[in-house]
């Protein structure tokens, strides 16, 4: 399993862009990179997934360099409601039943 390393916590202010970087040095060829968001007392929720280069959806962008040893989740113009824990996961794309490891995540605090 590819292990991931993320900052434990980050602070930001409303309206700013937030970038959270995840390191995954031993990512395998078949691995995809997935980010989840978790609010208190709720289960995690899928944000975005990518394999290489850049992926964008309505809530975030994911930047993956050519060597794929890291990835950056970008949240544009955050609001107070983006305060949550963000998890970076790396897993095998060939088997949907793979064992994903969540790790400790990054606690994002958005201040007014």
Q: Which residues bind other proteins (CB under 8 A)?
A: 32, 34, 36, 41-46, 49, 85, 87, 91, 93, 95-97, 99-105
Burial pattern 65-96, b for ≥16 Cβ within 10 A else e, equals eeebebbbbbbeebeeebbbbbbbbbbbeeee
Distance CA 111, CA 11 (A): 7
Smaller CB separation from other proteins, 36 or 64: 36
Smaller CB separation from other proteins, 16 or 63: 63
CB 46, min distance to other proteins, A: 4
Smaller CB separation from other proteins, 69 or 107: 107
């Amino acid at each position: 399993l590819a292990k991931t390393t993320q900052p434990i916590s980050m602070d930001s202010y409303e309206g700013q862009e937030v970038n959270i970087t995840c390191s995954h040095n031993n990512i395998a060829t078949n691995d995809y990179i997935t980010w989840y968001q978790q609010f208190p007392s709720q289960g995690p929720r899928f944000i975005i997934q990518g394999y290489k280069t850049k992926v964008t959806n309505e809530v975030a962008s994911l930047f993956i360099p050519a060597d794929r040893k890291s990835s950056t989740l970008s949240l544009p113009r955050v609001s107070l409601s983006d305060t949550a824990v963000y998890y970076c996961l790396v897993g095998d794309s060939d088997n949907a039943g793979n064992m994903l490891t969540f790790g400790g995540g990054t606690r994002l605090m958005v201040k007014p």
